[in-house]
C-alpha cells in the first residue's frame, strides 16, 4: 500500500455543543491524526473583524479587510491552529460572549467562507508533511463542502438538554439554539448532515463510548 492510501481524512460535523471537539481530539490521539477545529477559524476571523471595527452587515468592507489578512498554520502538538498576521488569539478571546453572538452572522458571509476554503483544504497537505497518519477536521460543512471526498464522514447530534448542560458546565454564555438556527438557514454551506455521512448520537453515551463506537466504524469502513 502506498503512503497516500494509508493517509485518512475524517470529517466531523454537527451543531453547537454536540461534543465535536472532545470527540475529535480523542480520536486524533488514538489514531495519530492532526486535528483541525474550523469553528476556531470562524471565531478567529470574527474576533479580527470585530477588533477592526467591522460591522457584520458591511460585507464589502469585510471582503477587502479579509484580503489584507495573512492566514498561516501553527502546529501545537497535534492541533493545527490558524494564525492571522502571525498571531493566534487566546481561547478566551475567540470564545467570548461577543464572538459567540456574532460568529454565525460572519460565517454566513460568502466572502468569509471563500477566504477559508483553500486554507482548510490545504490542511491535508500540512498533516501529510508533518507525518501524521491522517487528518480529522471538525465543523459544519466539512463532509459536505470542504472534504466531500473524505474517507469517513460523521455527523454528531445530541438532545437539546444535554447540549445546554455541556455549555453551562463550561461556564460559557452561548446561545447555541440561535447559532444552530442561523447555521442551518444560511444559503452558503449550511449546517446539514451530508448524504452518506454516519449519524452518531452523543447524548446518551459517554465520550469514551462515542470514541470507541466511531473507531469501530472506521475499522469496518476501512
Ligand atoms: O464549532 P464552533 O461552535 O466553535 O463554531 C462557531 C461557529 O462557526 C458556528 O456556529 C458556525 O457559525 C461557524 N462555523 C461554520 N462552519 C464551520 C465551522 C464553524 O460556519 N465549518
pLDDT 10s digits, 109-151: 999 999 999 999 999 999 999 999 999 999 999 999 999 999 9
What mean pLDDT comes out for the span 28-36?
97
* Distance, CA of 59 to chain centre: 23
Instruction: Please state, in angstroms and rounded to a whole number, the distance separating the CA atoms of residues 66 and 119.
Output: 13
How much distance in Å is there from the Cα of 216 to the middle of ligand 1?
27
Reduced to 3 states (helix: H, G, I; strand: E, B; else coil), residue 175 is coil
Q: How much distance in Å is there from the Cα of 172 to the middle of ligand 1? A: 16
Q: Which atom of ligand 1 is nearest to the CA of 21?
A: 1
- 13 grid coordinates: 460535523
* Angle separating helix axes 38-51 and 97-107, nearest 10 degrees: 100
Instruction: Out of 10-24, 38-52, 95-109, 168-182, pick the least confident.
Output: 168-182
Whole-model pTM: value is 0.95
What share of the chain in percent tops pLDDT 90? 82
Ligand 1 atom closest to Cα of 142? 21
**pLDDT over 70 at 5, yes or no:** no
> How high is the pLDDT of residue 57?
86
Q: Dihedrals φ, ψ of 17, to 5°?
A: 60, 30
> What domains appear along the chain, each with residue ranges and CATH number?
8-218 (3.40.50.300)
Grid coordinates belonging to 211:
470514541
- Residue ranges of alpha helices (H) inside 78-192 are 91-94, 97-107, 110-121, 123-129, 160-170, 176-185
- Going from the Cα of 2 to the center of ligand 1, the distance in angstroms, rounded, reads 34
Dist. CA 45–CA 115, nearest whole Å: 10
The pLDDT assigned to 165 comes to: 85
Q: Which pLDDT tens digit goes with each residue over 185-207?
A: 999 999 999 999 999 999 989 99
Q: What is the residue-averaged pLDDT of the chain?
A: 93
Closest approach atom of ligand 1 to CA 38: 18
Amino acid at each position: 500500500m502506498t503512503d497516500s492510501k494509508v493517509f485518512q481524512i475524517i470529517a466531523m460535523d454537527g451543531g453547537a455543543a454536540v461534543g465535536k471537539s472532545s470527540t475529535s481530539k480523542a480520536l486524533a490521539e488514538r489514531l495519530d491524526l492532526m486535528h483541525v477545529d474550523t469553528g476556531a477559524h470562524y471565531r478567529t476571523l470574527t474576533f479580527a473583524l470585530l477588533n477592526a471595527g467591522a460591522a457584520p452587515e458591511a460585507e464589502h468592507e469585510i471582503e477587502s479587510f479579509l484580503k489584507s489578512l495573512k492566514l498561516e498554520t501553527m502546529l501545537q502538538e497535534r492541533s493545527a491552529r490558524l494564525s492571522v498576521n502571525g498571531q493566534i488569539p487566546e481561547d478566551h478571546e475567540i470564545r467570548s460572549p461577543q464572538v459567540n453572538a456574532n460568529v454565525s452572522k460572519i460565517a454566513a458571509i460568502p466572502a468569509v467562507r471563500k477566504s477559508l476554503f483553500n486554507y482548510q483544504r490545504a490542511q491535508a497537505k500540512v498533516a501529510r508533511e508533518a507525518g501524521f497518519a491522517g487528518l480529522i477536521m471538525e465543523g459544519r460543512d466539512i463532509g459536505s463542502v470542504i472534504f466531500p471526498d473524505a474517507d469517513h464522514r460523521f455527523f454528531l447530534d445530541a438532545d437539546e438538554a444535554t447540549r445546554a448542560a455541556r455549555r453551562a458546565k463550561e461556564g460559557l454564555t452561548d446561545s447555541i439554539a440561535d447559532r444552530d438556527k442561523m447555521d442551518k438557514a444560511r444559503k452558503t454551506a449550511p449546517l446539514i448532515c451530508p448524504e452518506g455521512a454516519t449519524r452518531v448520537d452523543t447524548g446518551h453515551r459517554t465520550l469514551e463510548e462515542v470514541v470507541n463506537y466511531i473507531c469501530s466504524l472506521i475499522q469496518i469502513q476501512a
